[in-house]
Amino acid sequence: MRDRILIPGIPLEARVGCTQAERRDPQPILVDIELRCDVAPAAMADAIESAIDYVSVRDQAERVVGERPYALIETIADGVASALLRAFDVEQVVVRVRKPSALAGFGVPWAGVEVVRDRRG
């Protein structure tokens, strides 16, 4: 599928980290989402009813991130990808989760993980 919907840099708060102290308080993460799907029906209709609602995509990511504390951003990325596949008629999703604080003490702007999931498994 060549068509893609891109929603980059969704700012969210997550309780995520390897230690209990990290998971105690929410910290900022950024979630990038790519949905691979056929946008032709929406383009032809020029109607939101035929399209994937970007706000609903963002809301799915926020719901997963806020569900519970996580040790790993890998788990968040996988959970968001799974939720998006369940909620929307898409062939594939790419989810990147970036954690700005992960290596901030070393001058690194962020560390992240990207997962690719599709309907084929």
Report the pLDDT value the prediction gives residue 1, as an integer from 0 to 100.
65
Parse the chain into domains and list their residue ranges. Answer: 4-118
Report the pLDDT value the prediction gives residue 119, as an integer from 0 to 100.
86
CATH topology of domain 4-118: GTP Cyclohydrolase I, domain 2 (3.30.1130)
Report the pLDDT value the prediction gives residue 120, as an integer from 0 to 100.
76
Enumerate residue ranges in the chain where pLDDT < 50.
none
Task: Return the bridge partners of 117, or none.
Answer: 93
User: Is 81 exposed, middle or buried, given 0-12, 13-18 or 19+ CB atoms closer than 10 A?
Assistant: buried
User: Is 29 exposed, middle or buried, given 0-12, 13-18 or 19+ CB atoms closer than 10 A?
Assistant: buried
